[in-house]
Structure 1
Amino acid sequence: MSSEVVSIRQPLVLHASFWGKALAGIKAGSDTRVLEVGCGRGESLALLASKKIDAYGFDLGAASGQLLAPKSQFAFGSLSSAMSYPQHHFDAVIVRPMPSFRGELATAEHYVATANLLSCVKAGGRMIIVEPTAGREGTPSTEWLARWNRQLEAFTVEKKSLVYRDGGLMQALLGWLKKGPKLDLQLIQITIPQTPVSRLEWHRQARTAAMPKTRNSRKAA
């Protein structure tokens, strides 16, 4: 594996500039809530809390080392099982690379995991999928984006591709880039319909997409 490929064992740290752009247009208030999937120790949760944003994190299990936000802000477990958060709960959900989203992203578990996350977003809210431009796990970012886009065709959402890169004179002058590696990311921004979609409906769309694949795998066996 190339040393330039980002491993999910070395999670990205999404700093203030990224979050400022990711949440642009979302009016901050006492009922504004954000979920970060693949949150690690909660670096982003602590950062967002300092900005008076109600931030929560989801991961497979507690990361090694001390959590950087109150434990009440975390949920742990499988994204393809019962969802810990209510439907229509978050203004934005950010999905970082994590073990729940490996491989071709085309199994029933992958579709259900995505449906669970979509169901947590408020009507008119957004979900942003983050992939390092350098790729991960030996697979280039172009392939990861293609896998995500194929999967997302199953759901009634609007999506567009975006790029986030650190840089620019003002950022350099401010000096915050010295605190960690620069970010170079490929994003898929998903817009949830303005009319609320129930969790049951998201799951129906997931099942419809997964059923042909399940039948084919049984025939092959």
Structure 2
Amino acid sequence: MAYSASSFIPAVPVQLSARVLSRILIGHRLAFGSRVLLVGCGTGELASFLEDISFEVSGIDDSLGSVDEAREMFPRIEFHAAQPSESVPLEHHSYDLVLVQECGSYTDNLLGLSARIATANLLACLKPGGHAVFVRPFGDDSPLPMKHHQQNCWTRHLACFPGEAAISNYADPWLSRSTWGWLRGRHARRGYYTVSWRAPQLLVSPDRWREFAKRGLMTGQGACCEAANGCCEAGKRRVA
């Protein structure tokens, strides 16, 4: 008998709020026992939490130090140090959900080949009909370019892949400290948005996913937004 993840999810020991996580799990009808791949798993706290509530979890992160720490703290969970734009050392067509948080592959232009190859490699890990969810904060004052991509950058990024994409916004609750700061004019409204993409029901090979990414260059000329332009210019100055 399959049990739904629709029960209330208590405190989550990471930056991602319990409210947003529960919406992701419930909204995608993820049954307990489903396989979840966390991209940008950090030191593994969220992976451990999901395993504790009966999901089968793997994690990847582009920081070897974070992965080493995650392996030491949670040895029962599979963690890998990997850059999705280069390779994903995991079984293909085996995950019900790929949840992407922080990932260096998406710092620059989302319409570029490197970012789309990263997504192709992640989509190859999904079962037919599975979901990839990109979760990002909004209203964040951090100077990191990755945090300033516009929401439609992600839908344009995913447009070259067959499947369905949808955006959801989750502002911080009205009684939260950040919302009171917004009401007093101290900063912008804060929260998270998710870009959810559903895979087609047909089995797609990893090579085929990468072909879609390469074809996307015909529809993704230039930078996806000003944030990507700024990041690219900064990179050029560093090289010079």
- TM-score, normalised to structure 1, is 0.75
User: Cα deviations across residues 39-75 of structure 1 (Å, max 9, x unaligned)?
Assistant: 1101111111110111111110234584242275211
- Aligned partners of 2:113, 2:17: CA distance in 1, in Å? 33
- Consecutive unaligned residues of structure 2, counting only runs of 5 or more, are 1-13, 177-189, 222-240
Whether 1:27 aligns to 2:31 is yes
Report the equivalent of 2:82: 77
Q: CA deviation at 1:140?
A: 9.1
> Percent of pairs identical after alignment?
28
- Find 2:205's aligned residue among 181, 198, 201: 198
Number of aligned residue pairs: give it: 190
Seen in structure 2, the aligned counterparts of structure 1 residues 184 and 108 have a Cα distance that, compared at 3 Å, is same
Report the equivalent of 1:152: 158
Equivalences for residues 112-127 of structure 1 within 5 A = 112-127=117-132
- Contact 1:13/1:44 (8 A) holds in 2: no
- Alpha-carbon RMSD across the aligned residues, in angstroms, is 2.8
Whether 1:95 aligns to 2:100 is yes
Report the equivalent of 2:236: none
Seen in structure 2, the aligned counterparts of structure 1 residues 204 and 66 have a Cα distance that, compared at 3 Å, is closer
Report the equivalent of 1:111: 116
Seen in structure 2, the aligned counterparts of structure 1 residues 192 and 145 have a Cα distance that, compared at 3 Å, is same
Report the equivalent of 1:187: 194
| Paired letter, 2:31 | K
- Aligned partners of 1:88, 1:165: CA distance in 2, in Å? 33
User: Cα deviations across residues 4-33 of structure 1 (Å, max 9, x unaligned)?
Assistant: xxxxxxxx622444332212212223xx21
